[in-house]
Amino acid sequence: MAKDQLLAGFDAGQTHTSCKLAWLKRNGELSPVAQGQGPGVRHLAAPGGEACFRDALQQSLRDARQQAGLPDDQSLAAGGVGASGIERGSTIQNQGEALAAAALKLPLASVQVSGDEHTALLGALGDDPGVLVISGTGCIALGQTRCGRWHRSGGWGWLLDGAGSAMDLGRDGLAISVQMADGRLRETALKEQLWQVLGVRTPQELKAAVVAEGFGAAGFARLAPVVDASASGGDPHARGIVERSAQALAQMVSSIATTLELPTPQVCCSGGALTHLQMLRQAFATDLAQRCPGASLAVSKGDACDGALRLAVQAALRC
């Protein structure tokens, strides 16, 4: 490599996109420069998905260049992207790489695109064996061995497989609230707390609110902190919801550890729910210790942008 090369690593989620710039030095080391932000993405097969993907990469890259004091036309040598909805080995991955190459003005060989869960795993563990469990709006767990075998559990979309996610916490809280409202369950403060956030007063208004355009998974997920705080305050319904979600997360980790034959896996946690919801994290740690006694919670080495930069390094070195 004759000179230092500017690389970009993108973490493109449903709510926002982060872009981290770094110089790949001639000695092979990465020197971080700055990080920028942009809008989120949607599945490439969804209406407007391609445009959202392009805008997310371009706007977050523009912001990162500005943060670094670099000109808008400062060229990249390679880019790595971890994006929500990208499945490795699929035609969607090929589509994403073509779109990313065009958006970043790079040759196709200089771009690698994968799922954001994959880049999160690379960022958290590097080449080490272990498991990463992500609980944010959605949830997924992934694990890898030292020789490169990997396995996933969960992450099949909020309509099919949301147990353990912030979306699930909020949705289950609202489901219980309507049961309180019509007398099936004893009413607690949880109902009023949830309804106040949404500005509704009746089950009919709630029913209309959750089917409104744009509510979706994110609408349910923003209620998760209310459920977690209510559980912390001793509400029995909220505690039950949090415990079920924690059990779902621990089960995913345990299944990966069994499949990959990792008797004492290091387990890294990521995502807003596991990071910020104290009761969920505590319940997860308790259940994990029972299901997988050899597991230990570990601090991530880096984030999904760091994992995306690892992909960018691979792309730069192969060109």
41 within domain boundaries: yes
Identify the domain containing residue 197 by its residue range: 154-298
Whether 308 and 216 share a structural domain: no
Strand order in the sheet with 16-24: 30-39, 16-24, 5-12, 78-83, 111-115
142 within domain boundaries: no
> What is d(CA 128, CA 141) in angstroms, rounded to the nearest whole number?
16
> What is d(CA 66, CA 71) in angstroms, rounded to the nearest whole number?
7
100 within domain boundaries: yes
Whether 169 and 293 share a structural domain: yes
What's the mean pLDDT in 109-118?
94
174 within domain boundaries: yes
Whether 280 and 314 share a structural domain: no
> What is d(CA 319, CA 314) in angstroms, rounded to the nearest whole number?
9
H/E/C letters for each residue in 271-307? CHHHHHCHHHHHHHHHHHHHHCCCCEEECCCCCHHHH
211 within domain boundaries: yes
Whether 56 and 99 share a structural domain: yes
Burial of 195 (0-12, 13-18, 19+ CB in 10 A): buried
Q: What are all long-range contacts of 176-179, with beta carbons under 8 Å and residues at least 24 apart? A: 176/237, 176/241, 177/206, 178/203, 178/206, 178/207
pLDDT in tens, 238-279: 999 999 999 999 999 999 999 999 999 999 999 899 999 999
> What is d(CA 280, CA 228) in angstroms, rounded to the nearest whole number?
7
Taking phi over 0 as left and psi of -120 to 50 as alpha, with beta for the rest, 85 belongs to left
237 within domain boundaries: yes
Whether 310 and 174 share a structural domain: no
70 within domain boundaries: yes
pLDDT in tens, 39-98: 999 889 889 999 999 999 999 999 999 999 999 889 999 999 999 889 888 899 999 999
Whether 271 and 160 share a structural domain: yes
Whether 186 and 276 share a structural domain: yes
- CATH number of the domain that residue 96 is part of: 3.30.420.40
Whether 213 and 192 share a structural domain: yes
166 within domain boundaries: yes
Is residue 137's pLDDT more than 60? Answer: yes
The amino acid at 36: G
Whether 15 and 90 share a structural domain: yes
> What is d(CA 42, CA 39) in angstroms, rounded to the nearest whole number?
10
Whether 269 and 313 share a structural domain: no
CB atoms within 10 A of CB 173: 26
Whether 201 and 117 share a structural domain: no
Is residue 2's pLDDT more than 80? Answer: no
